[in-house]
Amino acid sequence: MKREIKFRAYSSHNHKMYPVSNIEWDTDGRIWVTADDGKNGIELIDEEAHLMQYTGLHDKNGREIYEGDLFEHKFGYTVFDEPPHAEMGTECGVVAFDNGQFVVSTPGWGGRNLYELLLLNGHLNDMPDSDLFTMKVVGNKFENPELMEAQHE
């Protein structure tokens, strides 16, 4: 599978997300990131720059998916009460690169292959959209940490 290689960076100093135009390492091993701020570009150094790689995939709304993105996954399940009935659930996971693949990590489930989840849920073929089994990017772990915190309550 051929995909575009690109990055974005979150600046912990400016508290903003930027597209990345260049990444370099100096002789001391420090990373220097040139980010596009819409003006002249800015330099981010080491711990200030949190790099995230583009996965080459899009969510159900056509939004590019990067490492660090938070995915909302709606799913249906059966509750075996009296009487049995169907309910909808929602979970939020973070996109990460693990063991040579992009995964969505969710509490209690660990990492699940991102491509397979999107394919399973119809986002990579011609299945019609519905509220059932939808996956979409709802933020990222730097700008929206409250979405992950809600999963642990």
**b/e map 22-44, b = 16+ CB within 10 Å:** eeeeeeeeebebbbeeeeeebeb
Of 121-125, 131-135, 138-142, which gets the smallest average pLDDT? 121-125
pLDDT in tens, 71-81: 887 666 677 87
Which tens digits make up the pLDDT trace of 24-64? 998 988 899 999 888 888 888 878 889 999 999 888 788 99
Spatial separation of the C-alpha atoms in residues 47 and 116, rounded to whole Å: 32
DSSP 118: H
